[in-house]
Amino acid sequence: MKRYLVKPEEKINLDQRNPNDKGYFRGDKEKGRLKLAELNSRLEELQEMLYAQHKHKVLIVLQAMDAGGKDGTIRHVFDGVNPQGVKVASFKVPTPEELDRDYLWRIHKHTPGKGEIVIFNRSHYEDVLVVRVKGFVPGTVWRRRFKHIRDFEKLLADEGTTILKFFLHIDQAEQKERFQARLDTPHKQWKFRHGDLEDRKLWDDYMKAYADALSKTSTESAPWYIIPSNRKWYRNLVISRILVDTLEGLDMCFPEPEEDLENVVIE
């Protein structure tokens, strides 16, 4: 999965990344679905061990443009995983209370504890993305945030958090199709906001801001992956694979049982 990993300080041009790529998997959508089901089962086992062992903490950051597939990723990658021990934290427009404080204040309290997987649906990265593109704070303010973020994530990693960050990369044509599907499908209309079109108009600025953020905050202990996401099945498969491989790498085990279990008689 190294092909999608962003190296620290690597120059990124998102125009040169193919959101339709499906190079890692030799197979079609149907085969992809079967493979994902296998990975779902493996993830279920690994998550149970993570929970039982109560040692590791796992943070997954999801960022994307509107309709980029954050919700679908959560639904499909974690399909079948026990909801105990997995939490989702969604970060929306900050409340007045949040805006009165530093931008990491609302983030830190949602970071995972031992035995937990936490998925960030949007994150502190909004504070160097939308905030930058819309000019909510001056350049002098958002520029220094890259260092804050690297330091914050280093602190989490040093204290035992495994961090994975995924940028779900779609192109503008794909976003148009997905917006149209939202408009045309009554039960999806709730997802559409007029403001989404404002962000769409700023697409190039967003891509520049993303490229910069990915390059400046991908580190050894908190790497970014650029996930080709025009094909939903491929996106799910790649993220699931990276997550399973990462959890396998933690060399987890179930805790030792209490002694003398073989002599226990249940009356």
Smaller CB separation from ligand AMP, 47 or 121: 121
**167: three-class secondary structure by DSSP:** strand
Which of 25, 53, 89, 91: binder of ligand AMP (CB under 6 A)?
Answer: 91
Any long-range contacts for 95-103 (C-beta under 8 Å, 24+ apart)? 103/127, 103/131, 103/145
Q: With CB under 6 A as the contact rule, which of the stretches 54-62, 121-129, 137-145, 210-218 interacts with ligand AMP?
A: 121-129
**236: three-class secondary structure by DSSP:** helix
By a kind-dependent CB cut-off of 5 to 8 A, residue 91 interacts, out of Mg ion, ligand AMP, none, with ligand AMP
Q: How far is the CB of 126 from ligand AMP (least distance, A)?
A: 3
Which two three-digit tokens encode residue 240? 């699931």
Instruction: Kindly report the number of other CB atoms within 10 A of residue 119's CB atom.
Output: 24
By a kind-dependent CB cut-off of 5 to 8 A, residue 126 interacts, out of Mg ion, ligand AMP, none, with ligand AMP
Between CA 146 and CA 127 the distance in angstroms is 10
Q: Calculate the dihedral angle through the C-alpha atoms of 108, 110, 113, 115, rounding to the nearest 10 degrees.
A: -140
Q: Are 1 and 242 in contact (CB under 8 A)?
A: yes
Site for Mg ion in 54-73 (CB under 5 A): 66
By CB under 6 A, is residue 94 in contact with ligand AMP?
Answer: yes
Q: How far is the CB of 4 from ligand AMP (least distance, A)?
A: 23
End-to-end CA distance of the chain: 52
Smaller CB separation from ligand AMP, 78 or 103: 103
Which of 21, 66, 116, 153: binder of ligand AMP (CB under 6 A)?
Answer: 66
| φ, ψ dihedrals at 159, nearest 5° | -90, 15
Site for ligand AMP in 193-252 (CB under 6 A): none
Which two three-digit tokens encode residue 45? 């086992």
**233: three-class secondary structure by DSSP:** helix
Which of 55, 122, 143, 208: binder of ligand AMP (CB under 6 A)?
Answer: 122
By CB under 6 A, is residue 126 in contact with ligand AMP?
Answer: yes
Q: How far is the CB of 134 from ligand AMP (least distance, A)?
A: 7
Q: Which residues bind Mg ion (CB under 5 A)?
A: 66
**Residues lying near ligand AMP in the complex (CB under 6 A):** 66, 91-94, 122, 126-127, 130-131
